[in-house]
Structure 1
Amino acid sequence: MKLFTQIAYISISFALSFATAHSFAEMTNNEEQTEVSEVLIPLSQDTIKQQATDPKRGMSMKAVEAKYGKAIKIHPTKGKPPITRWDYAEFSVYFESNFVIHTVHHNP
Structure 2
Amino acid sequence: MRKQSTLFGALAVTATLAFFPMTSAVAEEIRVPVGTQADRDQASFPGSGMSQSSVRASWGAPMEIHGPVGQPPITQWHYQSFVVYFEGDRVIHTVLKHNR
**Greater fraction of residues in strand:** 2
Percent of pairs with identical residues: 45
Q: Per the alignment, in what secondary structure is the counterpart of residue 91 of structure 2?
A: strand
CA RMSD between the two structures: 1.8
State TM-score, norm by structure 1.
0.58
- Please name the residue that 1:46 is paired with: 39
Deviation at 1:76, TM superposition (A): 2.1
Partners in 1 of 2:66 and 2:38 — Cα distance?
31
Question: What CA deviation, in whole Å up to 9, does each residue of 1:32-81 have, x standing for no partner?
Answer: xxxxxx8641315723x2x2311000000000000000000111211100
**Residues 94 and 45 from structure 1, CA distance in 2 versus in 1: closer, same or farther, beyond 3 angstroms?**
closer
Count of aligned positions: 69
Residue 57, structure 1, aligned to residue 48, structure 2: yes
Residue 102, structure 1, aligned to residue 93, structure 2: yes
Q: Per the alignment, in what secondary structure is the counterpart of residue 76 of structure 1?
A: strand
State TM-score, norm by structure 2.
0.62
Deviation at 1:101, TM superposition (A): 0.2
* 5+ residue gaps, structure 2: 1-28
Partners in 2 of 1:83 and 1:44 — Cα distance?
27
Greater C-alpha radius of gyration: 1
Residue 75, structure 1, aligned to residue 72, structure 2: no
- For 1:103, give the aligned amino acid: T
